[in-house]
């Protein structure tokens, strides 16, 4: 939102008066006086008019190494949730960007920036998501070709985008998908007559799970990781 419109929206002042306040150095954005009424203000940057703070909600972008056994949910009466691994004061702020089921481990993103997380997770964005998969049965040579052609998911009535499968062993592989639909990896393997016994997400787009994070640990994303989720 333009700064003059922001001031007008968050104060009793008219657009003309808002522009006058900005031009006369009465407005600070991110701690600096801004005199350009056309300057852009996002929803997390701090904005002050004289001694009154008009906006100051901090943005949170976190990566968590999700352990198995935790639900990707804000609360549950029976099972522990991933929010229980984070400071309690952050609980009301955060939502999960790209859920993992209870038996799946690995990279989980939590944020309070809804627009940013939608760019990361919406199927139409085609953001690559990389999983390490262990299966019950040996992975057949035909599996990679089937995944590259796309797997029909009856519940959604659609065919998945071409996926890449890299064999790591007889029953282990690295799979890259582009939608992240409900239980997608498990359903894809079920369609070729196999069953996933262990699933671990390694990366989403340009954000890879930090190898220094033990299961249950988290850290703030770097500026480069946040910026990798392009508009």
Catalytic annotation, residues:
101
- Answer yes or no: are the C-beta atoms of 163 and 147 closer than 8 Å: yes
DSSP 8-state assignment for residue 137: S
Contacts of 111 (CB under 8 A, 6+ apart): 59, 60, 61, 62, 94, 95, 97, 117
Q: How far apart are CA 129 and CA 127, in angstroms?
A: 6
């Amino acid at each position: 939102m333009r700064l003059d419109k922001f001031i007008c929206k968050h104060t009793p002042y008219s657009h003309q008066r808002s522009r006058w306040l900005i031009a006369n150095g009465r407005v600070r954005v991110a701690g600096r006086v801004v005199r350009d009424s056309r300057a852009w203000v996002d929803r997390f940057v701090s904005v002050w008019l004289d001694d009154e703070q008009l906006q100051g909600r901090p943005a949170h972008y976190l990566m968590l190494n999700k352990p198995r056994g935790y639900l990707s949910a804000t609360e549950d009466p029976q099972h522990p949730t991933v929010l229980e691994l984070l400071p309690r004061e952050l609980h009301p702020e955060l939502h999960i960007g790209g859920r993992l089921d209870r038996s799946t481990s690995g990279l989980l993103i939590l944020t309070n920036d809804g627009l940013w997380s939608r760019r990361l997770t919406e199927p139409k964005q085609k953001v690559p998501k990389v999983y390490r998969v262990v299966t019950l049965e040996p992975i057949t040579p035909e599996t990679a070709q089937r995944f590259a052609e796309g797997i029909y998911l009856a519940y959604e009535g659609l065919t998945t985008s071409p996926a890449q499968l890299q064999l790591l062993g007889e029953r282990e592989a690295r799979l890259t998908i582009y939608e992240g639909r409900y239980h997608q990896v498990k359903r894809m393997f079920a369609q070729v007559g196999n069953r996933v016994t262990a699933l671990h997400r390694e990366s989403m787009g340009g954000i890879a799970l930090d190898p220094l994070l033990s299961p249950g640990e988290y850290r703030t994303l770097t500026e480069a990781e946040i910026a990798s989720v392009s508009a």
